[in-house]
A = this chain, B = another copy of it.
């Protein structure tokens, strides 16, 4: 056996992530509809609860979406008084976006409704596994904005690893 060429399964988790996220999103849509929310809103609200008081283009960065679309998203959320835009005192061009009390409440309601969906999609995982899954994803998500921008800056063309 010469050098044992390390026949890795070469499993990448991008497709897996995509697959599961899709399943989750599909079910979540139907559950969230009665609350007047869509998955996108949930992500935004969750991010805002974590890092409240960010500017809109900071949000655009962490949500990885175009600035103009952020406006629309926030408009919808503000129309239902779930978030507030205040002008920043230091730089009055900026809008400081923050969760309102109603927003935090709705978010909790949504999360509550989402628990059922989790039960369906992640039925094969026991509570402990779900918890570690949560922690892994959380860790990845909170650290990514920086590392992602960094990676994009360092290797704009292509960074091949194999």
Query: Which A positions have Cβ atoms within 8 angstroms of B?
Result: 10-28, 31, 39, 42-43, 45-47, 63-64, 108, 111-125, 129-130, 132-134, 136-144, 147-148, 151-152, 158-162
Contact = CB atoms under 8 A, between A and B. Distances in A.
B133 A136 contact: yes
B24 A14 contact: yes
Nearest to A159: B116
Given A23-B148, A112-B162, A147-B124, A138 B16 contact: yes
Q: Considering the complex of A and B, which 4 residue pairs feature the smallest CB-CB distances, nearest first?
A: A124-B143, A21-B21, A123-B147, A120-B151
A interface SS class: helix
A162 to B, nearest CB: 5
Nearest to A149: B120
Contacts of A108: 10
A36 to B, nearest CB: 16
A148 B153 CA distance: 41
A82 to B, nearest CB: 14
A13 B46 CA distance: 10
A116 B12 contact: no
Contacts of A134: 11, 13, 16
Contacts of A138: 11, 16
A124 B111 contact: no
B43 A159 contact: no
